[in-house]
Amino acid sequence: MPLRKATLAAGIGLVAALAAGLALYGSGTTGGNSGPCASAGPTIGRLAPLARGEVAALQVGETPRPAPAFAFKGPDGAETSLAGMTGRLLLVNLWATWCAPCKAEMPALDRLQAAFDPKEFHVVAINLDTRNLDRPPLWLKENAIDTLAYYADSTGRVLPVLQKETGSLGLPTTFLVDGKGCMLGVMKGPADWGSEDAKRLIGAALGRS
């Protein structure tokens, strides 16, 4: 009998220890302190207090995770992906010419890109028009949006992936990705990305005070 009690006690202790370990370090491959995006934790800590003012609607991630994988066309017309852009901070924006709020924020995104070194920070504004494909680049030109590179997905593949990953049901949707490909936060709807609030946010994500 004493042996049974001792074995039972040892088993309970082992379960408790495992539970504590899972609570502390996380059990998945994409979250917790031991996941591939664990190093993004300090960046998220810097961003959270700066999600205010013009960028108050930014939902800073509690647990950093890899950005969703999807393909789209680059400025040269060749297929590319976010995975091929690692090494610098990315602000990924989904827009379309039939989306009035999207078009309204494009000049601000253009100004934001101009305020930072493109080798450190890159706005990836992906156009989602599926018809009249010559219209989006023409609209950018007519509205003097000349700092942003032109990215596009005319296949309709990107939006469903982003809706599933971010929970956003409309456009514009914008999310921030660090240099290692980890999502830091999501903005569902438009924002003044050219504002001082936005610049402070991006500066903090780059590790600046």
Residue 34: band (very low, low, confident or very high) from pLDDT cuts 50, 70, 90: low
Instruction: Tell me the C-alpha distance between 192 and 146, whole Å.
Output: 18
Question: Predicted confidence band at 202 (pLDDT cuts at 50, 70, 90)?
Answer: very high
Residues 6 or more apart whose CB falls under 8 angstroms from that of 51 comprise 57, 58, 59, 60, 185, 201
Between 20 and 69, where is the model more confident?
Answer: 69
Q: Which one has a higher pLDDT value, 56 or 26?
A: 56
Average pLDDT over residues 59-82: 93
pTM over 0.85? The answer is: no
Selected residue with higher pLDDT from 25 and 4: 4
Residue 67 CA to residue 100 CA, distance in Å, equals 26
Report the chain's mean pLDDT, rounded to a whole number.
86
Burial class (CB in 10 A: 0-12, 13-18, 19+), 4: exposed
pLDDT digit string, tens, across residues 117-161: 999 999 999 999 999 999 999 999 999 999 999 999 999 999 998
pLDDT tens-digit profile of 180-201? 999 999 999 999 999 999 999 9
